[in-house]
Amino acid sequence: MGLNLNPFTWWNGATFGTWMGLRGKARVGEDNLGNVYYEGGQDPNGIPRRWVIYSGSNDASRVPPEWFSWLHHQIDSAPDQALPAPKSWEIPAEPNLTGSQLAYRPSGALEKGGHRARATGDYEAWTPGA
């Protein structure tokens, strides 16, 4: 189609209205997925407002835990300043893969043939009054 739908659709990223609303707001940082974080203004309780502009589809599971903490005012400054460096054994956060080709599907799932192994002898059905 060739038409840029970004000004009209919110599910593909920030709309034109969102970008206009971010004028004058401070860019705080960017995560390893390319999401950009902003802060500026205050809500009626005096708490600073914070935003994330997603790189790609708008999916809240694509916000890493350290930036989630910042967005929800659990830490005051950007994660690279407020949190210790990641440990060598930590694995990077992954977005929710449900509904994608990479989603977990157990052996009995319809996508894997719908057949599962028969129960062994370790299961005993519950019977009322037994």
The model carries a pTM of 0.65
Q: What is the pLDDT of residue 101?
A: 86
Number of domains in the chain: 1
Q: What is the pLDDT of residue 37?
A: 93
Residue 118 inside a domain? The answer is no
Residue 4 inside a domain? The answer is no
pLDDT digits (tens, 9 = 90+) for 6-19: 555 555 566 666 76
Residue 127 inside a domain? The answer is no
Residue 123 inside a domain? The answer is no
Q: Between the CA of residue 91 and those of 54, 61, 86, 94, what are the distances in Å?
A: 21, 16, 9, 9
Residue 50 inside a domain? The answer is yes
Q: What is the pLDDT of residue 2?
A: 46
What phi and psi values does residue 37 have, to the nearest 5 degrees? -115, 140
CA angle (30, 69, 60) in 5-degree steps: 70
**Residue numbers of the domain that contains 32:** 16-96
Residue 104 inside a domain? The answer is no
Residue 65 inside a domain? The answer is yes
Residue 49 inside a domain? The answer is yes
Low-confidence ranges of the chain (pLDDT < 50): 1-2
